[in-house]
Amino acid sequence: MEHEGMLPPLTALTEDEQMFKDAVASFAREQVGPRVHKMDKEQRIDPDLVRQCFELGIMGIEIPSEYGGAESSFFMACLAVEELAAVDPAIAVLVDVQNTLCANALLRWATPEQKQRYLPRMATELVGAYALSEAGSGSDAFSLRCRAEDRGDHWVLNGPKLWITNGNEAGLFIVFATVDPSLGYKGITAFLVEKEFDGFKVGKKEDKLGIRASSTCELIMEDCVVPKENLLGEVGRGYKIAIETLNEGRIGIGAQMVGLARGALDHCLQYTTERVQFGKPIASFQGVQFQLAQCATENEAARLMVYNAARLKDAGRRFVKEAAMAKLFASQVAERTASTVVDLFGGYGYTTEYPAEKYYRDCKIGKIYEGTSNMQLQTIAKLIEPKV
């Protein structure tokens, strides 16, 4: 009997999926790879790469063709994120947030007019960002204090947001604010805020440990005027939009961590065949082989967990537990793999001349954003409670 949390065997990709995966891998290797070190050092994604991501069609993977998108699946978006992350997790998260958070939220909750106004641009030139977190509301997401006031023919938003991915590149922000703090989560409401709206500005860009090219910014709203037609969903339903979107988004982060771990391991496999000690490549030593084998095994397990969660989501099946497990485990695997890779590179692994140290810095965020590991464990624990 098929387990409710599993679909039939998912190891094989279809021909179309493999072709797409190969195309993104080629783009990542040829176009992203030569710029990784410079972008990390300058803490900035090359704007030309953002343009190429749109041209390749990977910024609107699930957007229907009537809006200029690829009209593909959530699973395909995860494949793109995985392949990009193998080369640079920073460019991967730009594509991930665009697809698994922003476009997904609009596809599910936007009005026909909002879809017509924004989705064609999101498929071709408009970067999105997802603005939920604040200084006092991280894991406790719904204790946010950003206020939304109904002024009759428009809304006015006041308050800062922190840790917003794509802050510098984005032109459209999904902003969560409360219409009344006394209502708790029932006051949370979502808005579509354009970068050019009066009273809105992007503030400080964070100087981070890893994924340094990815912009993580403060947003400042001071009497920010939002047209009435830019309400996303219904008043007081923002919590539902946030929860359901993040449930999907964490699968994308799992894919990012799978790609990161594979990219680090691929570099290490190459290095250990070239590094000679005691007269032979270190890859010939059983102690090294066992470490590489352990990393490869864990990476494959994490990949299958991510693929399964993405397939379940596309099939309209329950996937929240599987998504939490996939993100939790993939982030753990990425951290262990990146650490092992630094060890096997030895002294070179501690220098910026080689890629090992960057993968090590980049992996840590996987346990933090889009739900910390402790929050994933809490979700899993609730969903495995015995039925009595």
- Asked if 305 contacts 325 with a C-beta cutoff of 8 angstroms, the reply is yes
Cβ pair 260, 93 in contact under 8 A: no
**Cα gap 71→82, rounded to integer Å:** 19
| Residue among 188, 190, 219 nearest 105 (CA) | 190
How many other CB atoms are there within 10 angstroms of residue 293's CB atom? 11
Catalytic-labelled residue, pool 134, 218, 322, 370: 370
Sequence letter at residue 278: F
Q: What contacts 76, CB < 8 A, 6 or more positions away? A: 17, 20, 61, 62, 70
> DSSP letter string over 257-271?
HHHHHHHHHHHHHHH
Q: Using alpha carbons only, what angle is made at residue 55 by residues 175 and 25, rounded to the nearest 5 degrees?
A: 95
Tokens read off for 287: 């102690």
CB distance 134 to 175 below 8 Å = no
Q: Which residue has the tokens 């710029």?
A: 35
Q: Tell me the C-alpha distance between 89 and 256, whole Å.
A: 7
Alpha carbon 7 to chain centroid, angstroms: 24
Q: Do residues 186 and 238 make contact, with C-beta atoms less than 8 angstroms apart?
A: no
- Token representation of residue 200: 């809105």
Sign of CA dihedral 130, 84, 46, 122: negative
Question: Is residue 370 annotated as part of the catalytic site, yes or no?
Answer: yes
Gyration radius from the chain CA atoms: 21
* Look-up of token digits 């006394």: 182
Residues marked active site are found at 370
